[in-house]
A and B are shown apart, each in its own frame.
Chain A
Amino acid sequence: MDRLGYTRYVAQGGDQGAAVTDAMGRQAPAGLAGIHLNFLREALGNVGGLPADSGEERAALAAMNTFRTSGSGYFLEQATRPQTIGYALLDSPVALAAWMLDHDTDSYYTIEQMTRDAIAFITAKELGEADLLGFSIGSFVAQQIALVRPAIVRRLVLASSAPQGAAGRHGWAPEVIGAIGTPKTSPAAYLDVFSPGQRPAAEQARKPCGACPQGLRTGMRQRRGRHAKPNMMGLLLGDSQSWAAPAADCPRHAGVRDERR
């Protein structure tokens, strides 16, 4: 900016540009009046210290943990071995396209993106009005579709749902959370959902109950090979082939028998 002759200016940045802009703010060169970031790079290095009190905060935390556990390979390579990956990206158009397409891909799966996708699908199939059934996170998508494109929604069914959007009304009620989970989750709990391998070794050593989510995920991984990750939708929708017998000492499945043949 000095070179362009500006003596007073502001700076904005996103993604890696946010890191650059953040650094500008810390260096505080003469003339820089302020910065704006739409990405907080520092937060990625301090996930354990972030708040998880509201639905929005928990959603952000979950997205960050998804990024850290399965979406940040590109980042590690670029940050540590940029010259090496450069040979492939420069010489092969397909390598470059795949790199651009895949980088940070999971973090883009937002409610808004899924809403756009669902509306595009309904429109492309020329369904006119559709009956929408939204389950769990899909219930937030269904609510969003009804809000932004009510004309394509004939009937709306929400299951395992909660109000979404309005201040103080986002997410599940405390009583619901209390009944099905912990009232206040933690980064460790999120890690357990998305990456069970990071649980304490002592806990992992215990044989999982085949009917509990942890046991289901283990079964699915075994069936699909070691590269497969737990598929949450398959889990939610009942991937029955993956179910193992409930453990005899599981408090949640006392008296449940496996009657498959």
Chain B
Amino acid sequence: MSSETEIRPFRVNVPDEAIADLRRRIAATRWPTRELVADRSQGVQLATIQELTRYWAADYDWRSCEAKLNVLPQFTTEIDGVDIHFIHVQSRHENALPLIITHGWPGSVIELLEVAGPSPTRPRTAEPPRTRSTSCCRPCPATDSPASRPRPAGTPAASRAPGSS
């Protein structure tokens, strides 16, 4: 198996420094003047985004979100020159029908956590799913979630196609 078709285990582990940096960036925001209308018709209203980011910086608990993700078996693999992150939950049933679920963008695998269910290595209280399910994260152009990071700029995607080397 070439390195480009390799499937690598993945865990989310955002360093404390990155979280501190996020809070610094939020605190350093340069705000525009407020919108000229009394509704959302010009976009997100200033008061809304200020309250949201206040909550984000002060109250939001990233670690609990990280823990929810890390309960599930996550992997990355390279497709067409882009590292793709995905969750791969396997059914305990031998002949279950595999299902691949692809989310949108803006969006993330977090929307699908309740569908993916807990890892089969943990005790189940709910009815076990009848399928093997795979949640697949689509690459998001020019974003930098740790596992959807594109190859360095200047690397032609065509030359990084699976199977080429």
Contact = CB atoms under 8 A, between A and B. Distances in A.
Interface string A116-146: 0000000000000000000000000000000
B98 A227 contact: no
Interface in B119-147: 132, 134, 138, 141-144
A216 to B, nearest CB: 16
Contact of B142 (A89, A92, A93, A94): A89
Interface stretch (B9-17, B42-50, B64-72): B42-50
A3 B7 contact: yes
Contacts of B103: 13-17
> Of A1, A17, A70, A98, which is in contact with the most chain B CB atoms at under 10 Å from its CB?
A17
Contact of B56 (A1, A82, A93, A105): A93
Contacts of B106: 74, 99-100, 103
Interface residues of A, number: 46
Nearest to A228: B37
A17 B84 CA distance: 14
A83 B142 contact: yes
Contacts of A115: none
B56 A9 contact: no
Contacts of B107: 15-17
Contacts of B104: 13-18, 39
Given A93-B53, A102-B43, A3 B77 contact: yes
Nearest to A13: B102
B113 interface: no
B160 interface: no
Contact of B44 (A8, A85, A98, A227): A98
B25 A3 contact: no
A21 B103 CA distance: 10
A97 B52 contact: yes
B121 to A, nearest CB: 18
Given A3-B5, A93-B56, A70 B41 contact: yes
Q: For the complex, would chain A's binding face be called helix, strand, loop or mixed by DSSP majority?
A: helix
B155 interface: no
A103 B39 CA distance: 16
Nearest to A1: B100
B28 to A, nearest CB: 10
Which of B49, B100, B105, B107: most chain A Cβ within 10 A?
Answer: B100
B144 A90 contact: yes
Nearest to B145: A90
Interface string A176-204: 00000000000000000000000000000
8 contacts: A11-B100, A14-B103, A16-B103, A17-B102, A93-B26, A97-B53, A227-B41, A228-B37
Interface of B: 5, 7, 22, 25-26, 29, 36-37, 39-44, 48-49, 52-53, 56, 77, 88, 97-107, 132, 134, 138, 141-144
Interface of A: 1, 3-4, 6, 8-18, 20-21, 33, 39, 70, 74, 78, 82-83, 85-87, 89-90, 92-94, 97-103, 105, 224-225, 227-229, 231
